[in-house]
Structures are given as C-alpha cells and as structure tokens.
Amino acid sequence: MWPFHRNNAENVRSREPYWLLRNGIGAAGTALDRSLECDVAIIGAGITGALVSDALIETGLRIVVLDARDIAQGSTSASTALLQYEIDTQLTELTKLLGAVKALRAYAACARSFQMLESRMPELLTLAEYERRDSLYLAPDDRAVSELKIELAVRQAMGLHVSWIDADELQRRFGCRRPGGILSSLGAQVDPFRLTRGLFAGAVRHGVKVFARSRVDAIDAAGEAFQLRVGVHTVNAAHVVVCAGYESLRFLEPEVAQINNTFALVTEPLADAARATGLPLIWESAQPYTYVRGTRDGRLIVGGEDVPFKSPAAREALLPRQIRRLSAKYEQLFGEPLPKVAYSWAGSFAETKDGLPFIGAVPGMNPRLQFALCYGGNGITYSVHAGEMIRAGIEGRAHELDDVFGFQRLPTSLRASSPHDHQTASA
C-alpha cells in the first residue's frame, strides 16, 4: 500500500507553492452533488488531466473530470514547469535500456511536443506566459565532460540543434562555473497553473463537466462500464482515465514507479530583471541534479535536491535543510550568493526507472481503464502526447508511441495478472 495519509493538498506539495501564491486560488470549483453518467471519466484536474480533456473534446463524448482538490491545486501548482525534450535519462543511457530505435523515438516525440502544443492553443499559451527558451545541460565536473560530449554527438546525429559550450563561454554568456555543457535550442517555460485553469475553462465551454473536492473512493466494474464511487454519489462511465499524478499508483497493481520529494525556491525580483528573463533552462547531469530558470517578473527559480518520499511530514521537515543546500548549489554554480529567497516549497512526485511515462491501458487490466502517468522532469511534454494516446485507446486505435510510452514495455512479471473487476483507491 502506498503511504498516502490525508486526502488533501499537503499529500503532494507544501502549503505555499509559488504559482498558487502568484495567481491566487480563484473561485472554488463545484463539488459533485448528484449521481450521473458519462462516456469518459477523468480522475485528476491537473495539467495532465487538462491536456487529456482538451484532446478528447473533438470526439463529442460526454466527459466528466473529478478531483479531490480544486483545479490545478495538487502537484501542478508545485511544478517548476521546465518544458524540455531532454528526458531525465540521457539518450545514450536510454539506448542501453530500450535499444537505439525506441530511445530515438522517445526523444523525437518529446521534441515534437513543442510544435504540437503551440499549434493547438497559441492564445492560451500567451496568457500562460509560455516562452521558448534554450536549455543548458551542464557537466558538474571534469569527469562528466567526456560522457556529455558522447551524448552531444548522439543528439547531433538525430538532427537536434545542439552545440558544446566550454568553460570560458559558459562564464561569459551565462555566469556559470562549470567545465562545459550542451546548449540546446529547443526548450520552453510556462506558468502551469494558468495553463491548466485556462484549458479547463475552455473545456467547460465545450460541455466538459468539472467537479472539484470530489474524491473518487473506488472504481467498480459495472458490466461493460465502470462505476466510480464519490462519497454518496456515483459516476457511471464507459471509459476511465486516471491522471492523478503519483496518487494514481493506488489504482494500479504493478508498481511502476517510486515516489520522491523535490524542493524548490523562488527569489525576490532581481535588480537586473533581464538576467532572469533571458536565462536558459539550466540543469546538470549530476544525480540528483539542480536546475535554474527565470520568471516573467524577473525572479529566479532554483530546484532539485530530490530525496525518497517517506511521508508529507518528513518531507516538510526536510524543507529548510534542502533549501540551504539549493542556495549553496546556486552559489557554487554562479560564484555569488543566492538573491533573497521569497518563497520555498516541496513536492512529491513519481519517477520511473527509465524516465519515461506510462500511458494507456495496462496488460491484464480492463482496456477501458487507461492511465496517463506522465512522471519525471518531462511531465508536460509527455502529457501533450498522453491526450492523443488516450484518445486513440478510447477509439480502439493503436498509437505509434504505444510501445515507447505505454505499459507494453513493462516486464511480464510486473504486469497485472488478471483483469481487475474492482479497484479501490483515493485520488
């Protein structure tokens, strides 16, 4: 049994994440107050649930979204929202795990997600402060340089626009004190809270019903369909899609991921705001890695220092220590003290062994029950594909990424042993 304690936001993140403070909680969503029927029930009203909902609108299906919290107030509000094609697992390492063909397809899919996102919702992305950014992947020390240069060559061979930046150029252009790194032209950043709320506002206008503070206690088989128990009410659905972040794991028999804690801080606005607004997405090949990005209002976000999850209380107790470590990492990287910290927070997230998502139906489970487990540092770019993959599954079609991002790559020993007639969980 996964160690979930109370059914509130503190299970997945601290009380005061930056995006929630910056944007305000907004008007309270409507809670489910009656039993109803639908074609598709989506569990989870974060960024993944929003993108899946958006992808399904054109089908004309009756869609209901349920979340135990309000819209975007789980892990989404704690995300630092670096959008990258670069998977947490390097391309060279992913090749060892999956083979060259699948590894290249995974990276290529992440690279395509930017154009997919930008073509679908340009006006909303502007409102959500979406901005293209270069991505700078640093070697933490001299020993990592040769490894990253091999990674560079492999990425160049697949046609990615990447180049090597040596120590002198890193210092001159970005103020970084590192022996070298890979500079990629493809990356972006966004306000995930605004994007999620904007997507759901559009979905509601198209007839999607969204219910907040409506905890799904269980998913029961009901003939060819499902019955979701939500307090004293039920939602009957032909299809169910679970997009509840790491809490989705309670609906699964196979243990496909481990839960970690991550920590982040945001500074006060810098005196030279251009330094923050022009910064690339900076991260390292070290494990756990530290990352830095700017914000539209001239702040810096610094995050990382991941540790295994034990409990929400243990995570919060670690927050002051981990923020001190992030501050020290920043000073080591830039050779200057970290600007004054305005806010800090912690969040819990799931991570798969290969850094890839698990999207779609699970072999051995009811094929009408699908998951969008968009874990790791590429959650938003994975979620762009999740919408299309989930739609294909509902329509009975195969998707080209099923064997790369789907449950098919699970070892047979970890697959569900038989179709589940009953799934009990909270989300």
The 10s digit of each residue's pLDDT in 138-188 is 999 999 999 999 999 999 999 999 999 999 999 999 999 999 999 999 999
Last-in-domain residue among 351, 374, 407: 351
- Helix, strand or coil, per DSSP, at residue 124: helix
274 shares its domain with 346? yes
Same domain, 277 and 361: no
Give the H or E element holding residue 53: helix 47-56
Entry pTM: 0.91
In a domain, 323, yes or no: yes
Closest by Cα among 131, 135, 165 to 148: 165
Cα–Cα distance for residue pair 51/350, rounded to 1 Å:
19
Q: Are residues 165 and 265 in the same domain?
A: yes
* pLDDT reading at 427 higher than 70: no
pLDDT at 412: 64
Task: Write down the pLDDT at residue 180.
Answer: 97
Give the structural domain span for 216: 9-78+193-256+354-424
pLDDT of residue 402: 97
pLDDT score recorded for residue 79: 86
The chain-wide mean pLDDT, for the chain, equals: 90
Band of pLDDT at residue 425, cut at 50, 70 and 90: very low
Question: 91-138, pLDDT tens digit by residue?
Answer: 999 999 999 999 999 999 999 999 999 999 999 999 999 999 999 999
227-259: b (≥16 Cβ within 10 Å) or e:
bbbbeeebbbbbbbbbbbbbbbbbbbebebbeb
Q: Are residues 174 and 268 in the same domain?
A: yes
The whole-number average pLDDT for the span 249-269 is: 87
Choosing from 319, 351, 383, the residue where a domain stops is 351
> Does the N-terminal peptide bond of residue 140 adopt cis geometry, omega within 30 degrees of 0?
no
State whether 303 and 337 are in the same domain: yes
Per-residue tokens: 339: 């600007």
Q: How confident is the model at residue 13 (pLDDT cuts 50, 70, 90)?
A: low
Percentage of residues in the chain having pLDDT higher than 70: 92
Are 18 and 156 in the same domain? no
Which of 291, 326, 351 terminates a domain? The answer is 351
Burial call 82-121: b when 16+ CB within 10 Å, e when fewer: bbbbbbbbbbbbbbeebeeebbbbbbebbbebbeebeeeb
In a domain, 108, yes or no: no
Regarding whether 197 and 177 lie in a shared domain, the answer is no
Residues 274 and 182 in one domain: yes
19-23: list long-range contacts, CB under 8 Å, 24+ apart.
19/76, 19/77, 19/78, 19/79, 19/81, 19/191, 19/192, 19/193, 19/194, 20/73, 20/77, 20/193, 21/343, 22/191, 22/193, 23/191, 23/193, 23/194, 23/197
Pair 176, 267 in one domain: yes
Question: From CA 181, how far away is CA 164, in angstroms rounded?
Answer: 6
- Note whether residue 128 is domain-resident: no
pLDDT in tens, 359-403: 999 998 999 999 999 987 788 999 999 999 999 999 999 999 999
Question: Which residues are bridge partners to 234 per DSSP?
Answer: 229
* Residue 171 and residue 287 in one domain: yes
Residue 359 and residue 296 in one domain: no
Taking residues 319-340, what's their average pLDDT? 96
Evaluate whether residue 88 is within a structural domain: no
At 309, the pLDDT band (50, 70, 90 cuts) reads: confident
Domain identity same for 333 and 278: yes
Our count of domains for the chain comes to: 2
